[in-house]
Amino acid sequence: MRLATRLALTLLVTALPLTVGLVFLRERAARSAELDALVDYARGRMESGGREACEDAPEIFQDPPFRLPGDRRFGGPAPRDPLGLGRGPGGPGPDGPNAPAGAGGARPLRGRGPDFQQPPGRAEPAGPAAARFELWAYNPDFRSDNPAAPALEPALRAALERGAVLASGTFELPGRNGLPPRGGLQAVLRMAWTDGPCAIVLARRIDLPAEGSLLLARFGLPALLATLLVLVTLFAFLPFVRRVRALTAGVRRSAASGYVDPVGASGSDELTELGRAFDTAGAQVREQIERLERRERSLRAFVENTTHDVMLPLTVLQGHLVALERRAAANEVPDPSRVREAQEEAHYLGALLENLGAAARLEADELPIERHRMSLNRLIERAVGRQTTIARGKGVELVHALPGEEVEVEADVTLFERAVSNLVHNAVRYGREGGHVAVVLEVEGDEFVVRVLDDGPGVSDEELARLHERSYRTESARRRHPTGTGLGLSIAKEVCERHGFGFQLRRAEVGGLEAILRGPRAKPGGGNRSTA
């Protein structure tokens, strides 16, 4: 659902109950004020001459007063009753429920008519012009001496019988002379005196058809307030909707440009912060894309180079195998040098493939190092054992020395064994014919030290500084083994860095090269033990 549509529906759902609620509260407050005014009117009227008038003539007491034909006590002509509020069976007036049998003639008017003359000194409650007021008196037993007085409703009477001083409610009068029914507010209250024909008073407020101005005052004002609220809300939120749409367009434009163009949010509110957050996220996405592109170019170049590096030793191995096949077909004794070279190339191919797997893992930075507890003693024995055949074929004496205690380390088994194997393989492969290679494991405090030494031709200072760079090979190594890739030492260095171990290359005291691995020993009883 669109934001503007949701906003319109929200305003509609909010405005309707709000209008109804405002009307209800206004009507309730108005009704409470009307009741207070009605009670004040009744008490004030009875305490300012009404009691005396009632006790003097209780059989005709009503406020405003009415007269039977020929009654001249208030002077002036008898008022007319054009609305018929005093007529008909069941209603107040001479023919009401308390009227004496046979009463007839002119029906007096209760309340105001066009010809009604307000007696001087009489106070009426304030209220709309479309309302009539009347007052009736009753005995303590809830009977009225005035036969025209309406009967008290049972609920109001029961409330006073229970000891209440005041009871109120609404009432309804049937329609007369084609007019609609009338209703209004009524209150029954006890006076300060407890006996006599005026101990209880019924005060009524009869609501007549409201004029247009009164309807507008009662219902138009809440509707107007609700409408103003809707308009103010729209005025406040429509700019917000426009800014959200502009922000959406800016995000799409930035995405279409590869997050090079900024979203362009301006201001100092939350929408501006959201736009800046999009710009920050776009910059991070752009950086990740560039990093992935660089990695893709690097891997593509790496695969191209390593494909060439694999094909060279594979071609050499195929040539040796073809020569051995020819000598076998001629029943000749195989050339031992050919066999040794074929073994060396096959061994090199295996090491190369293992290095390619290790390099792929190291290239994927998101792959974590899986550390396991393992024995360095057994790892060195395996690394030396794999190179023994090649060393023997080259006349190289390969030896290793281990401490009397078991030395354990927490590391990635595959990667760390690949690093140590690369160092041993590099010393055997590039050492001199008939030379020596030694692998030594030592313990220095809480650290282990692995040393791989050879007595080969050695390297220059410039070559030593670059020897651990990927794909870098010395001139002597290229002359002796043109098929090398230069991956071994760089992988060993990177594996040590990823583990937090030290790695160092330096000239050996006996000539040649010395590689040193150094790192913390595993704490007793900790870590996952590897079965390798």
Distances (CA, A) of 292 to 254, 288, 297, 299, 364: 20, 6, 9, 10, 10
pLDDT digit string (tens) for 382-409? Answer: 889 888 877 887 889 999 999 999 999 9
Q: Which two tokens stand for residue 413?
A: 């088994």
Mean pLDDT across 459-476: 62
pLDDT tens-place string over residues 269-305: 777 888 888 888 888 888 888 888 887 877 776 676 6
Answer whether residue 17 is part of any domain: no
284 shares a domain with 204: no
Residue that wins the pLDDT comparison between 260 and 92: 260
Statement to judge: residues 206 and 120 lie in one domain: yes
Q: Which of 198, 213, 228 is the last residue of a domain?
A: 213
Instruction: Give dist(CA 392, CA 339) in Å, integer.
Output: 13
CB 113 within 8 A of CB 83: yes
Q: pLDDT tens-digit profile of 11-43?
A: 777 777 777 777 778 778 888 988 999 999 999
Domain count of the fold of the chain: 3
155 and 87 in a common domain: yes
- Which among 368, 399, 420 is the end of a domain? 368
The bridge status of strand 182-190 relative to strand 166-173 is antiparallel
Cβ-contact 53, 138 below 8 angstroms: no
Name 236's Cβ contacts closer than 8 Å, sequence gap at least 6: none
Q: From CA 519, how far away is CA 449, in angstroms rounded?
A: 7
Report yes or no on 18 lying in a domain: no
CATH number of the domain bearing residue 333: 1.10.287.130
Closest CA to 453 of 472, 471, 440, 466: 440
On whether both 167 and 313 belong to a single domain, the answer is no
215-255 per-position pLDDT tens digit: 555 666 667 777 777 777 777 677 777 878 888 888 888 88
* Cα–Cα distance measured from residue 342 to residue 132, given in angstroms and rounded to the nearest whole number: 125
Both 387 and 527 in one domain: the answer is yes
- Would you state the pLDDT for residue 159? 93
The answer on 197 and 328 residing in a single domain is no
pLDDT in tens, 421-465: 889 988 888 888 889 999 999 999 999 999 999 988 777 777 777
| Structural domain that includes position 525 | 369-532
Same domain assignment for residues 108 and 204: yes
* Whether residue 349 is found in the same domain as residue 439: no
Mean of the per-residue pLDDT values for the chain?
75
Q: Say whether both 358 and 385 belong to one domain.
A: no
